[in-house]
Amino acid sequence: MIMKTKFTIQITGISILLLLIFCAVEGLSQDFHLSQYDAVPMIQNPANTGMKEGRHYSASAMYRSQWRPISSRPFSTFILAYDMPLEDRWGIGGYLVNSDGANVFNTFQLTGSVAYRITRQRRRSAGHHLSVGGQLGMMYKTTARELVFNNQYNPQGGGYSSDIPNYEDIENYSKVLPEISMGANYRYVNDQETIKPFASFSIWHITSPKEGFLSNSGGDVRLPRRYNLLVGSRFLLQDRFILEPKINTNIQGQATEYIFGADLETTFEAREDILGTFGVHHRLKDAIIIIAGIEYKGLLFTMSFDINTTELSEYVKGSSAMEFSLIFAPRTGRVNLFRI
């Protein structure tokens, strides 16, 4: 019984610690992160909107759950997205995101996206794809009203009392913020070559809107701009294998995130309408990411697991997050790995 009590206290302490870490992160105004960061391309860069080669459209759903092994209220992110090409050069779309931080902080985002292809799609022999894009939307941020503070515990008996004021100067429990972002994307697309480099750059929260909840500091707390840079290349190894190493960098305020690794894509000789994907990536100073997916007739299901590499790994039993994506993007023709 004593061991069980100690274990319960230990787990509760860890949960509180994670919550404090999360609150600190929210204080620094970092965005949610995804292990499958390019599964929905326009969330990675506005210039990717409607620019998937050989697809009629793309409808996507994603879900991420983090810290479930040690918290009864895991941090979760849910995404719905849709985009499509419009005529030869344009792409349009939109998405919604709901990011829930242990029922304490919540961010809901609704955004429209548009992209323009500067180079002509028909001239693939020229070898270059360059597009630019922008997004306009809103974010609705809320914090729980049932927050408990240390000064609400009775110093005489140590018990919590809701009758004791918390003395926190919370002016609003919700905030509406504008979201404006823009980006550019380059890909080498010459069908005669076996090496195709790519690079993209985007800026998010361009206006750096005010987001503070406290009345005495709300005017000073702003959502920092986030800068994203993705570089990599696709290598044709054989007729049925593509290797794609890449590095994804996010910089927001004083926080920096690096994810580097590679994906291997292949079709099966007996069934060319089935595409398999496997990847291994590393989020620096955080986790190893294992990704596996399969596509059948335009329906792609991908799952990933974060294997924690920090001091918390012994408590989360290895996996600190899991992520699932389901994407339906019907093709305009037969599968061509090098044009995906």
- What six digits make up the tokens of 111? 């955004």
Name the phi and psi angles at 130, rounded to 5.
Answer: -135, 125
- Region 87-100 average pLDDT: 93
CATH of the domain at 35: 2.40.160.40
* DSSP collapsed to 3 states, the chain: CHHHHHHHHHHHHHHHHHHHHHHHHHHCCCCCCCCCCCCCHHHHCHHHCCCCCCECCEEEEEEEEECHHHCCCCEEEEEEEEEEEECCCEEEEEEEEEEEECCCEEEEEEEEEEEEECCCCCCHHHCEEEEEEEEEEEEEEEECCCCCCHHHECCCCCCECCCCCCCCCECCCEEEEEEEEEEEEEEECCCCCCEEEEEEEEEECCCCCECCCECCCCCCCECCCEEEEEEEEEEEEECCEEEEEEEEEEEECCEEEEEEEEEEEEECCCCCCEEEEEEEEEECCCEEEEEEEEEECCEEEEEEEEEECCCCHHHHCCEEEEEEEEEECCECCCCCHHHC
Chain-wide mean pLDDT for the chain? Answer: 81
- Region 181-200 average pLDDT: 93
Model pLDDT, residue 220 = 73
Model pLDDT, residue 120 = 78
pLDDT tens digit sequence for 287-304: 999 999 999 989 999 999
pLDDT tens digit sequence for 222-268: 899 999 999 999 999 877 899 999 999 999 999 999 999 999 999 87
Model pLDDT, residue 295 = 93
- What six digits make up the tokens of 285? 């100073």
Count Cα neighbours of 307 within 13 Å in the Cβ-side half-sphere. Answer: 7
pTM of the model: 0.83
pLDDT at 308 over 60: yes
Q: Which tops the pLDDT comparison, 62 or 321?
A: 62
Distance in angstroms (rounded) separating the CA atoms of residues 96 and 266: 31
Distance in angstroms (rounded) separating the CA atoms of residues 277 and 264: 6
Q: How confident is the model at residue 153 (pLDDT cuts 50, 70, 90)?
A: low
Model pLDDT, residue 319 = 65
Q: How confident is the model at residue 217 (pLDDT cuts 50, 70, 90)?
A: low
Model pLDDT, residue 21 = 46
Domain count, the chain: 1
State which residues form the domain around 306: 2-339
CB within 8 A of 43, min separation 6: which ones? 34, 37, 79, 81, 95, 97
Place of tokens 């305020």: 253
Q: Give, in order, the Cα–Cα distances in Å from 144 to each of 70, 107, 172, 257.
A: 21, 12, 11, 28
Residue type, 17: L
pLDDT tens digit sequence for 8-32: 434 444 444 444 444 444 444 567 7
pLDDT at 122 over 60: no
